[in-house]
Every structure is written in structure tokens, then in C-alpha cells.
Amino acid sequence: MKFLTLDGSIRRRMLDLGLVSDTIVEALQKSPSGDPTAYHIRGAVIALRSEEASKIMVEIN
């Protein structure tokens, strides 16, 4: 099963940011307008728009 349903340069960006299989992702905070949301990924805080985040398959633990 693919965990990233993105293509092209945005897929490469997500992989470069450390979004690989079995990566722990924690949602930290939404912006006042609701988009983007800040996520903690491999020691970094990364803001993703809902359009990008919706393409990431996650398992809730």
C-alpha cells in the first residue's frame, strides 16, 4: 500500500522531509484560518496545507 498518494516534485519534497514508511507524525497546531497545519516529523516542525496532508496515508495509534 502506498503511504503517499502524491506525484512529481511534491512527492519528492515529502520524501526529502522524511515522510517515509513508519514515520511518526504528530499534528501540533492549525493556523487561525485552519490551513496550513503544523506537524512534528522526525524532529522538525513542518507546515502542510490540507491539500498536501490529505494525500498522506496514516495509521492512528
Residue 32 sits in a domain whose CATH number is: 2.30.30.90
Tell me if the pTM is above 0.85.
Answer: no
DSSP tag of 28? E
In a domain, 61, yes or no: no
Number of domains present in the structure of the chain: 1
> Residue type at 12?
R
Sign of CA dihedral 16, 21, 25, 30: positive
Is 2 part of a structural domain of the chain? no
Distance, in Å, from the CA atom of 16 to the CA atom of 61, rounded to the nearest integer, reads: 24
Residue 27 domain boundaries: 8-53
In a domain, 1, yes or no: no
Q: Classify residue 32: in a domain, yes or no.
A: yes
pLDDT at 2: 60
pLDDT < 70 regions, the chain: 1-2
Which backbone phi and psi does 30 adopt, to 5 degrees? -90, 150
- Position 5 scores a pLDDT of 83
Query: Alpha-carbon distance 32 to 52, whole Å?
Result: 18
